C-alpha cells in the first residue's frame, strides 16, 4: 500500500491554496499600490498601536478567565462517573455546534441597557435600593458596547475549547499513578499539585491556543458586543479588505505582524510547556 504519489494532488493543492496565499500576504505587505517595494505599510501601522494593545489585552484576559473557569470544571467533571462524564461532555460540545453568531446574538439582548439583566435588577428593586442609599439616579448598568462585553463574548464562545482538551488529558491520566502517589503518602492537594496538574499542562496549552487565536483575531464579536467602539485587529484587517478603508497592502502588513506575534507567543509557550513536561517525567 506504499504509494507516496497518492499525496501528489493534495501537495499541489496545498502549494496553490495554502502556501501561495501566504506568500501573497508577505508580498502585499512589502509593496504599495503602484507595485514598488516599500516599508510604509509597517511605519503607517504606528497609528494602530491601540488596536494591537486592545486585541492582545482582551484576548489574554479572555484566555485567563477561560483557564480559571475551564480548568476547575474539567477537573471536577473528571471525578464524576462515566455516565455523568459522557453527558457533561456532550453538553459542553452542544453549544459549540451552534453558530457562534447566534450565541453572541443572545448576549446582545441580555446585556442591553433595558435588557434582561437590567430588567431583573430593576424588578428586584436593586436600583431603588442603591439610589436610596447613595442618592443617585441609577436606572441601569451599562454593559453592552463595552470592552467587558467583548471579553464576555470571547469567554462564552470559546470556553468549550478550553474545557475539552484539559478534560481529555486529565481523563487519560493513569489512575495507578495517582494511587502510587497516595501510597507514597501524598494528600489530596499534593496529588493534584505534583501529579495531576503537571500531567494536565499539555491540555491547558492546547486550550490556550484554541481560545487565544480566535479571540485575538475576532472582528464579529467586537462589532456585535463592542458596538464598534473598540477597534480590534480583526476589525482593522477586515476594514482594509472589505470595508471603506480598502487597502489590502496595509491589511496584509497588519495580518503579517499579528501572525508573527502570535507565532512567537505560541513558540515561547510551547517551550515552557515542554520544559514542564520534562520535569514531570523526571
Partner 1 sequence: MKKHYIPSRLFTLLVYIFLYAPIVLLIIFSFNATKSNRVWGGFSTQWYAELFHNARLLGALRTTIILSVLAAVIATLLGTAAAIGFYSMRRRSRSVFLAVNNIPLTNADIITGVSMMLLFVFAIGAFNSSFLSDLLGVRWKTGFGTLLIAHITFNAPYVILSVMPKLRQLDPNIYEAAQDLGASGFLAFRKVILPEIMPGVLNGLIIAFTMSIDDFVISYFTKGSGVTTLAVEIYTMVKKPVTPEINALSTLMFLVVFALLLTVNIRQARQETASARRKAKLNPGR
CA gap 212, 154 in Å, rounded: 9
* Residue 99 makes contact with partner 1 by CB under 8 A: yes
CA gap 248, 237 in Å, rounded: 8
Provide the 3-class DSSP secondary structure of residue 278: helix
Cβ–Cβ < 8 Å for 249, 32: yes
Using left for φ > 0, alpha for ψ between -120 and 50, and beta otherwise, residue 29 falls in alpha
Q: Indicate the DSSP class of residue 46.
A: G
Residue with cell string 448576549: 107
CB of 20 to partner 1, least distance (A): 6
Contacting residue, 61, 64, 69, 261, with partner 1 by CB under 8 A: 69
Nearer to partner 1 among residue 98 and residue 180 (C-beta): 98
* Residue 217 makes contact with partner 1 by CB under 8 A: yes
Q: How many residues bind partner 1 (CB under 8 A)?
A: 81
CB of 153 to partner 1, least distance (A): 10
Provide the 3-class DSSP secondary structure of residue 31: strand
* Residue 279 makes contact with partner 1 by CB under 8 A: no
* Residue 186 makes contact with partner 1 by CB under 8 A: no
Contacting residue, 144, 248, 250, 253, with partner 1 by CB under 8 A: 248
Question: Phi/psi at 98 (nearest 5 deg)?
Answer: -90, 140
Contacting residue, 39, 57, 68, 91, with partner 1 by CB under 8 A: 91
CB of 215 to partner 1, least distance (A): 10
CA gap 68, 265 in Å, rounded: 20
Contacting residue, 39, 57, 68, 94, with partner 1 by CB under 8 A: 94
Contacting residue, 43, 119, 128, 136, with partner 1 by CB under 8 A: 119
CB of 101 to partner 1, least distance (A): 5
Contacting residue, 171, 238, 276, 277, with partner 1 by CB under 8 A: 238
Contacting residue, 1, 37, 49, 281, with partner 1 by CB under 8 A: 1
CA gap 155, 161 in Å, rounded: 10
Who contacts 38 (Cβ-Cβ below 8 Å, separation ≥6)?
A: 30, 31, 32
List the interface residues with partner 1, window 259-278 (CB under 8 A): 259, 262, 266
Question: Phi/psi at 152 (nearest 5 deg)?
Answer: -60, -45
Q: Indicate the DSSP class of residue 226.
A: S
* Residue 165 makes contact with partner 1 by CB under 8 A: no
Binding to partner 1 by CB under 8 A, coded x per residue (else -) over 18-57, reads xxxxx-xx--x-----------------------------
Amino acid at each position: 500500500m506504499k504509494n507516496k504519489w497518492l499525496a501528489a494532488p493534495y501537495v499541489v493543492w496545498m502549494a496553490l491554496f495554502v502556501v501561495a496565499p501566504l506568500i501573497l500576504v508577505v508580498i502585499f505587505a512589502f509593496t504599495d499600490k503602484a507595485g514598488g517595494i516599500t516599508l510604509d505599510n509597517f511605519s503607517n501601522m504606528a497609528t494602530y498601536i491601540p488596536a494591537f494593545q486592545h486585541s492582545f489585552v482582551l484576548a489574554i484576559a479572555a484566555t485567563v478567565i477561560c483557564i480559571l473557569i475551564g480548568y476547575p470544571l474539567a477537573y471536577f467533571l473528571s471525578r464524576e462517573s462515566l455516565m455523568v462524564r459522557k453527558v457533561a461532555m456532550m453538553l459542553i460540545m452542544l453549544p459549540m455546534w451552534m453558530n457562534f453568531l447566534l450565541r453572541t446574538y443572545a448576549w446582545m439582548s441580555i446585556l442591553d441597557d433595558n435588557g434582561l439583566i437590567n430588567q431583573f435588577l430593576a424588578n428586584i428593586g436593586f436600583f431603588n435600593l442603591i439610589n436610596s442609599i447613595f442618592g443617585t439616579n441609577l436606572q441601569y448598568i451599562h454593559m453592552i458596547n463595552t470592552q467587558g462585553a467583548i471579553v464576555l463574548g470571547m469567554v462564552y464562545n470559546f470556553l468549550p475549547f478550553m474545557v475539552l482538551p484539559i478534560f481529555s488529558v486529565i481523563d487519560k491520566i493513569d489512575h495507578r499513578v495517582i494511587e502510587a502517589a497516595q501510597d507514597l503518602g501524598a494528600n489530596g492537594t499534593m496529588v493534584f499539585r505534583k501529579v495531576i496538574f503537571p500531567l494536565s499542562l499539555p491540555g491547558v496549552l492546547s486550550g490556550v491556543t484554541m481560545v487565544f487565536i480566535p479571540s485575538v483575531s475576532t472582528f464579529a464579536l467586537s462589532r456585535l458586543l463592542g458596538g464598534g467602539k473598540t477597534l480590534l485587529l480583526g476589525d482593522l484587517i477586515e476594514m482594509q479588505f472589505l470595508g471603506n478603508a480598502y487597502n489590502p497592502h496595509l491589511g496584509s502588513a497588519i495580518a503579517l505582524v499579528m501572525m508573527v506575534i502570535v507565532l512567537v507567543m505560541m513558540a515561547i509557550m510551547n517551550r515552557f510547556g515542554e520544559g514542564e513536561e520534562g520535569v514531570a517525567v523526571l
